[in-house]
């Protein structure tokens, strides 16, 4: 369900704009997407886990807000991020 420390560092390094970047919208969206994918797999086995489903919905809405912010501030960064993460099929 949650990310291991090593996997989280890989995701951060992969999407960081500069060294030590953990707060940019790209990094935050990438980490949230990784956690969302993990929870999605969890719900295939545990269909009635409604408490965790609430957390998933909160993460999805947080990612949506970050993507909306990025879309309004810098369209090119937004499009490259959704292409890299495979969102908006």
Segment 74-87, tens digit of pLDDT: 999 999 999 999 99
Other CB atoms within a 10 A radius of the CB of residue 3 amount to 15
Segment 24-72, tens digit of pLDDT: 999 999 999 999 999 999 999 999 999 999 999 999 999 999 999 999 9
pTM of the model: 0.92
Segment 4-19, tens digit of pLDDT: 999 999 999 999 999 9
Confidence at residue 89, expressed as pLDDT on a 0 to 100 scale: 58
User: How remote is the C-alpha of 41 from its chain's centroid?
Assistant: 15
pLDDT at 1 over 70: no
């Amino acid at each position: 369900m949650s990310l291991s420390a090593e996997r989280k560092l890989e995701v951060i390094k992969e999407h960081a704009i500069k060294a030590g970047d953990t707060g940019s919208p790209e990094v935050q969206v990438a980490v949230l997407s990784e956690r969302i994918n993990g929870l999605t797999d969890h719900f295939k086995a545990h269909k009635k886990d409604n408490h965790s489903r609430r957390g998933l919905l909160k993460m999805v809405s947080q990612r949506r807000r970050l993507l909306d912010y990025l879309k309004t501030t810098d369209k090119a960064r937004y499009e490259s991020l959704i292409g890299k993460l495979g969102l908006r099929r």
